[in-house]
Homo-oligomer: A and B are copies of this chain.
Amino acid sequence: MNSWDESFSDTKINFDSPIPYYIQIKEKIKEQIDSGSLKYGDQLPGEPVLCNLFAVSRTVIRQALAELEHEGLVARKKGKGTFVSEPESFEKLSGNLSGFYQHMKKRGHLAYSQILKQEIVHAEKDIASNLNIKPGSLVLQLDRLRYIDNEPIVLTSTYIPSHFVPGLENMELSRESLYGVLEREYGIVISRAYRTIGAVVANEYHAGLFKIKKGDPFIVISQIEYSSDGTLFAYYHGLYRGDRNVFEVEMVRQ
């Protein structure tokens, strides 16, 4: 694993800048991660090596790494080294709002997803509008119905302009997080999203899918997702049964 030498060799800090050394170094390491030069699981050079590479004391390196660790970008293991962290599952960003699955799995409930649709389609007007593309443009549409104990609980639809994810329509997705696949296969990390949460009542189609009554309530979550280079990347839409305590959250002040 000597490729990092090359990655870092042309990233010297400016010793005359008013910006503290440790902040400059932190940002340079971030750039390596954001640019994809460093990926999940990659090991950073050890502290002594970084001291040499950047020509600063270990204090500075440790401070930069400590902050990166606090921000969740790296994980430091005594005796082993410093590693790029698994990207926070995008679900975690939702403030635990969608931790339902993991929660129920932990409790021993049967949880699985059924893929209803995974194909390239022409974007309808509202989808196109959300994605800021022309109606009729090609998008990858992924619809999943999620079950707990054989009961449909959540219907999710994700739309991604197809040129961003060539081949995704043929990939096996029932076992994996979409966001994990996006990073591994396409080097794409969702870093920002804009979400709205509302409530609607079930129409005929959804009532049938979920086996509930027309007029029963859903929580509806819509979000627009941006990748780390600022590109408007995906539109997500989720319908969650309103009567199943889908969202149970413990909040702790710390």
Please give the residue numbers on chain A whose beta carbons come within 8 Å of chain B beta carbons, in ascending order: 70-72, 87-88, 90, 93-97, 189-201, 215-220, 228, 240-254
- Quickly give the copy total for this chain: 2
Determine whether the beta carbon of A215 is less than 8 Å from that of B191: no
The answer to whether B219 touches A197, judged by C-beta atoms less than 8 angstroms apart, is: yes
Contact A93 B196 (CB under 8 A): no
Chain B residues with CB below 8 A from A253, complex form: 87-88, 90, 93, 189-192, 228
Complexed CA–CA distance, A210 and B93 (Å): 32
Q: How far is the CA of A70 from the CA of B190 in the complex (A)?
A: 24
CB distance from A68 to the nearest CB of B (A): 11
Q: Which of B192, B199, B201 contacts A252 (CB 8 A)?
A: B192
A–B pairs, 14, beta carbons within 8 Å: A72-B254, A93-B251, A93-B253, A95-B97, A189-B253, A192-B251, A194-B251, A198-B245, A198-B246, A198-B247, A199-B199, A199-B243, A200-B217, A220-B242
Interface centre among A72, A95, A189 (most CB of B within 10 A): A95
Min CB–CB distance A148 → chain B (angstroms): 15
A249 to chain B, nearest CB (A): 5
Chain B, residue nearest A87 (CB):
B253
A239 CB to closest chain B CB (Å) equals 10
Q: CA of A201 to CA of B191 in the docked complex: distance in angstroms?
A: 34
**A69 CA to B241 CA in the complex, in Å?**
40
Q: Are B199 and A218 in contact (CB under 8 A)?
A: yes
Closest B residue to A242 using CB positions: B199
Q: How far is the CA of A241 from the CA of B196 in the complex (A)?
A: 13
Given contacts A199-B217, A201-B215, A201-B217, contact A250 B71 (CB under 8 A): no
B residues near A219, Cβ cutoff 8 Å: 197-199, 219
How far apart are the CA atoms of A199 and B238 in the complex, in Å? Answer: 14
Nearest Cβ distance between residue A231 and chain B, in whole angstroms?
14
Residues of chain B contacted by A189 (CB below 8 angstroms): 253
The one of B195, B199, B217, B242 that contacts A251, using a Cβ cutoff of 8 Å: B195
CB-CB under 8 A from A198, the residues of chain B are 217, 219, 242-247
Q: Which residues of chain B come closer than 8 Å to A88, judged between CB atoms? A: 253
What residues on B are CB-neighbors of A87 within 8 Å? 253
* Whole-angstrom CA separation of A216 from B243 in the bound complex: 15
Q: Which residue of B lies closest to A193 (CB)?
A: B251
CB neighbours (8 Å) of A192 from chain B are 250-253
